[in-house]
Structures are given as C-alpha cells and as structure tokens.
Amino acid sequence: MATLLEARALTAGYGGPPVLHGVALAVEEGGVTALLGANGAGKTTILRALCGMIAASGEVRFAGERIDGLPTEAIARRGIAHVPDGRGTFAELTVEENLRLGAITRRDRAAVAADLEGALTLFPRLRERWRQQAGTLSGGEQQMLAIARALLLRPRLLLLDEPSFGLAPLAVREVFGALARLRAEAGVAMLLVEQNAALALDLADRACLLETGRVVLQGEAAALRRDAAVRRAYLGR
Amino acid sequence: MEGFAHQLVAGIATGGIYASVALALVMIYQATHHVNFAQGEMATFSTYLAWAAVQGGAPWWAALLGTVFASFAVGVAIERVLLRPMRSAPVLAVVCAFIGLMLIFNSITGAIFGYAVRPFPSPFETSAPLLGGLVSGHALGSTAVTLAVLALVWAFFRHTGLGLAMRAAAYNPVSARLVGIRVGWMLALGWGLAAAIGAVAGVMVAPVVFLEPNMMLGVLLYAFAGALLGGIDNPAGAVAGGFLVGVVENLAGAYLVGAELKLTLALAIIVGVLLLRPSGLFGRAVESRV
C-alpha cells in the first residue's frame, strides 16, 4: 500500500527545550497507525506538529507533497482533519453550526449533504441534538460531534487525540465502533493517539511506541501486542 | 408629557447611532479582546470622505455607499498592516497602538479638512416635524437606516457561511484553523465591517452634531457605555445597551442633570457597570479555571 503521511526527523516543542527529538513515522493509505506512550511522551505534540499548530523542524510529506511549514488552515484544506485534545468543538454554537463549519471550505454542496447524512447515520444521537449548543452535550456526544465535524472535511487522514478520554465505557464503545466502521467502509486513514493501548491496537494495523519524545519501537500492531515489554507496560498482562 | 415623548423618541434616534458604534466595538472585542479606541475617529474620517464626495457633486446616497466601501477597505488594511504584526503583543502595546491610531486619524482629518465646524446635509426632510411634531425627519430616517444596518449585520452573521466562519474564528481560533478557516482574514474582515458600520453611524449623526474632527468623541463614549451596559461580549446586548444609553442620556439631559453634564452620565454608567456588573446586563460571566 502507498504511504499517505510520512514524517522524518520531526523535532518540536513549545518554546523551551524540544519535546520531540527526531521522530519518524508513517501512515499508510487507508491504514491506522496508533501512537502509544505514557503521559508526556509527546503523542499530542506529534499531532500538533504535523498540523502546523506549533513550531517544528523536520520533513512531513502528505500524499507525496511537503506540508511542513504550511499554516494549519492550509493543511486542513489538503484533507487532514484533526480531532484535537479536548475535542475542540465550538461550545457556543449549535450542533448544526458545528457540522456546517466542518464543511466550510467545500463548494460541492451535493457531496456535503451526502457526507452529512453519512455522519448522522454513524452518530444518530447528533440528529436528536441538532439545535442544541455544543457546550451542553455530554462528553460522549461532544466526541461524536468532533469526529463528525472532522469527517465533513472529507479528510484523507484523520488525526485523533485520545478519543476515549473522559468518556463512559459505553460511549467509548460507541465511538470506537464508529471508528472501526469508518475504517472498514470509508477507508479513512487514521493516526490515533490513545491512552488505552488495548483499544488502540485493536483498531490499528501499525503502531509506534513513544518514550520522552522518541520512537522506541514501531511495527505491525499485532507484533506490538505480542511484545513482552509492551504487554507489561501498556496492556497490563 | 409631550416634551417627555419628544425626548424619548429623540433618545431612540441617537440610541441607534450608539448601538451601531457599540456593535462595531463588540465585533472587534469578541475577536481580539481589545477595545478599539480609534473606532470613533475612524468614523469621523469616513464622514469627512462622504462630505467631500457630496461637496464634489456626488448624489447623497452614492456618497454614503462609496464611503462605506472605502471605510471597509481602510478597516481591512489597518488590521493587515498594523495589527497583524502585533497579534502576540502584550495588551498595553495594543492599547497604545489604538490610541496612536485615534490621534493619527484625528490629525489627518484636521490636516486635510480643517478644524472648522461645518453643517452636514441630511437626505431626509428636516424642516417639517413628523408624527404630530414628535420627531424630525432626520431622526426618523436615521433610525430607519441604523435599524436596517443592524438587521443586515445580524442576517449576515446568522445566515451566511462567511458570517458563521467569522463567528467560529472569534469564538475558537484554534478549532477554526483546524476546519480550514483563514482566521487572520476573518479578523481583517471584522475590522472592515466594523469600520463600515462606524461610517454609517458617523454620516447619520453628522447632521445632528455638525461636522468637526472631534465629533465622534462623545458618541464613542456613549457607545462604549452602551456596549458595557449590554455586555461587551454580546452583540445583541450591546445594541440594546446602545439604545438604552441613548434614551437615558436624553431623558436625564432634559430632566435631571442638564445638557452640560450629559457626558458625565456616560462615564458614570461605565464606572457603575464595571463596579456592579462587569459582564453587563446581558453578558455572561466568564469563569476561568486556574
């Protein structure tokens, strides 16, 4: 399969000493790569660096073209939808307006309407909340809204930052069920940051293990699941 | 009683002007959390442009329309050239820039057009009072124009994709970038719109207060009082606050404090709101975690 996203020697931080030290990673077309690691390992920082939200050096190629150095909005317009840490919904706006914003850069109205239908089929709960302010939704509903909004960009790559964070177990199942369907039916590639390693490795085909800003292990998700060190540290067995 | 009704109607007419300028202030405040002190002087400059166009023989309404477009362009240019490089500057630096901008516009207006007080023509019949002597034609006409402008602005933000994108950029710039919105340009558009709204307000108030480089100073104070009263982060509240300040100002000027002390009232409202209810009548109190 062709490589959709490839980062090389990615170094980034927040003004002080760098958080990432020369990270290399890749996401295949239609594939799911999971980023695993402890708190503070640099998982969220990788997503932010890929999207141009923080200053970074190194090379990032998306669909063969360099995107490092581009402003965030230009990267989004190329088809990378980021569901950020804390979900990033527009709390003051309604569910409908949030979803309209997801497709704000698109001009193909008919396709947008179809994508909206698709997103609402994936998350039927959002239809019931249509006119409600996003800030009043439950955590699970906000996560669904954030993912649905990202899908309305019709992305080729979805960056997901801890989609299970703070959710009730039932909501986690619903969200990950939807992600699995997206992967199987729509073939959307994903780069998934997730604390829950078992959940992430179930969805992913590749995985990177991060420690203090460096990739210490990467490979097939199945292989990482069998790895003794990973099992001990992240899977609790 | 008739005098009271007269003052009330006159208050609504000037209130419309304050409401427009208050809306312009709030639009920029919502997006940047700065109050544009130069809003009034920018409007004065725009009004002089309209005056020059009318003097040059342009039809009145064409002069207004041209001025609105020119002011929009000036507003966009100010954001792009002056404020864009200051995006991460400390608050005090931005305040200084705004005060500098105010002085620059004031001086440019004076240098080009002089400091003489001039009459400004009104397109509305001013000699014959309407509604049984209650209201002048200009007051009625300018109220209609300001209400139309406010309705247009509301419809733009509520019902167009660009309006939605501008609101999104103001509420949450980080997420707005993630959906592909060019946040910097949304800010510039906001400046342009605010300048255009201010231009209409200036042209509407000029026949009443007469044209001179400092004509918007009082208006800006009243508008600021209105914006604070209604809630500086709430456009609808600021508009309501602007109307309220207009009415209170007129009634108090006629019955309580007299015309000389009216401006003090605006300052009293500002201090009162900041002391008693900083989020304004319709604003929401912001809680922030530390």
Count Cβ atoms within 10 A of the Cβ of residue A14 and give its class: 0-12 exposed, 13-18 middle, 19 or more buried: exposed
Which of B179, B186, B284, B289 best tests the A interface by mutation, with the highest count of A CBs <10 A?
A: B179
* pTM given for the model: 0.90
Mean pLDDT of B210-217: 93
Q: Is A78 within 8 Å of chain B by CB?
A: no
Q: Residue B131 has what pLDDT?
A: 65
Mean pLDDT of B211-219: 93
Count Cβ atoms within 10 A of the Cβ of residue B288 and give its class: 0-12 exposed, 13-18 middle, 19 or more buried: exposed
Q: Is A73 within 8 Å of chain B by CB?
A: yes
Q: How far apart are the first and last CA of chain A?
A: 32
Q: Is B181 within 8 Å of chain A by CB?
A: yes
User: Exposed e or buried b for every residue in B257-281, given b needs 16+ CB within 10 A?
Assistant: eeeeebbebbeebbeebeeeeebbe
Closest residue in B to A84 (Cα–Cα): B175
Which of B159, B164, B175, B288 best tests the A interface by mutation, with the highest count of A CBs <10 A?
A: B175
CB contact under 8 A, A100 and B181: no
CB contact under 8 A, A81 and B182: no
**Distance in Å, alpha carbon of B177 to nearest chain A alpha carbon:** 5
List, in order, residues 6 or more apart from B87 with CB less than 8 Å away. none
Which of A73, A87, A95 best tests the B interface by mutation, with the highest count of B CBs <10 A?
A: A73
- Domains along chain B with CATH numbers: 2-276 (1.10.3470)
B287 secondary structure, DSSP code: P
| pLDDT, tens digit, 9 for 90 and up, residues B271-280 | 888 888 888 8
Instruction: Check pLDDT > 80 for residue A1.
Output: no
B135 secondary structure, DSSP code: B
Q: Residue B281 has what pLDDT?
A: 84
Q: Residue B117 has what pLDDT?
A: 94
| pLDDT, tens digit, 9 for 90 and up, residues B135-172 | 788 888 999 999 999 999 999 999 999 999 999 999 99
| pLDDT, tens digit, 9 for 90 and up, residues B62-118 | 999 999 999 999 999 999 999 999 988 898 999 999 999 999 999 999 999 999 999
Residues of B in contact with A102 (CB under 8 A): 179
DSSP string, A137-178: S-HHHHHHHHHHHHHTT--SEEEEE-TTTT--HHHHHHHHHH
What the block records as the tokens of A161 is 């930052």
Instruction: Check pLDDT > 90 for residue B283.
Output: no
Residues of B in contact with A90 (CB under 8 A): 168, 171-172, 175
Length of chain A in terms of residues written: 237
Q: Is B91 within 8 Å of chain A by CB?
A: no
Closest residue in B to A96 (Cα–Cα): B164
Length of chain B in terms of residues written: 290
Closest residue in A to B183 (Cα–Cα): A73
DSSP string, A23-70: EEEEEETT-EEEEEE-TTSSHHHHHHHHTTSS-EEEEEEETTEE-TTS
The answer to whether B12 touches B131, Cβ cutoff 8 Å, is: no
Tell me the Ramachandran region of residue B5: left when phi exceeds 0, alpha when psi lies from -120 to 50, beta otherwise: alpha
**Average per-residue pLDDT for chain B:** 90
Q: Is A133 within 8 Å of chain B by CB?
A: no
- Mapped to the 3 state alphabet, what secondary structure does B244-279 carry? HHHHHHHHHHHHCCCHHHHHHHHHHHHHHHHHHCCC
Q: Report B:270-289 residues touching A (Cβ under 8 A).
A: none
CA angle A75, A76, A79 (to 5 degrees): 95
pLDDT bucket at B287, cuts 50 / 70 / 90: low
**Distance in Å, alpha carbon of B140 to nearest chain A alpha carbon:** 36
Which of A53, A90, A112 best tests the B interface by mutation, with the highest count of B CBs <10 A?
A: A90
Residue A211 to residue A201: CA distance in whole angstroms: 17
| pLDDT, tens digit, 9 for 90 and up, residues A136-188 | 999 999 999 999 999 999 999 999 999 999 899 999 999 999 999 999 988 89
The answer to whether B251 touches B258, Cβ cutoff 8 Å, is: no
Percent pLDDT > 90 in chain B is: 67
Q: Which residue has the higher pLDDT, B227 or A38?
A: B227
Mean pLDDT of A86-113: 94
- Domains along chain A with CATH numbers: 3-235 (3.40.50.300)
Instruction: Check pLDDT > 70 for residue B130.
Output: no
The answer to whether B37 touches B95, Cβ cutoff 8 Å, is: yes
Q: Residue B289 has what pLDDT?
A: 47
Q: Residue A147 has what pLDDT?
A: 96
Q: Is A77 within 8 Å of chain B by CB?
A: yes
CB contact under 8 A, A104 and B165: yes
A227 phi, psi to nearest 5 deg: -65, 130
**Distance in Å, alpha carbon of A127 to nearest chain B alpha carbon:** 20
The answer to whether A212 touches A18, Cβ cutoff 8 Å, is: no
CA angle B157, B226, B36 (to 5 degrees): 70
Count Cβ atoms within 10 A of the Cβ of residue B171 and give its class: 0-12 exposed, 13-18 middle, 19 or more buried: middle
Q: Is B187 within 8 Å of chain A by CB?
A: no
| pLDDT, tens digit, 9 for 90 and up, residues B225-262 | 999 999 888 889 999 999 999 999 988 888 888 777 88
List, in order, residues 6 or more apart from A119 with CB less than 8 Å away. A99, A126, A148, A151, A152
CB contact under 8 A, A153 and B180: yes
Q: Residue B290 has what pLDDT?
A: 42
Q: Residue B127 has what pLDDT?
A: 61
CA angle B47, B50, B52 (to 5 degrees): 110
CA angle A146, A68, A77 (to 5 degrees): 40
What are the strands of the beta sheet with A80-83, ordered from one edge?
A: A80-83, A157-161, A189-193, A32-37, A206-211, A214-220
CB contact under 8 A, B177 and A105: no
Residue A4 to residue A28: CA distance in whole angstroms: 5
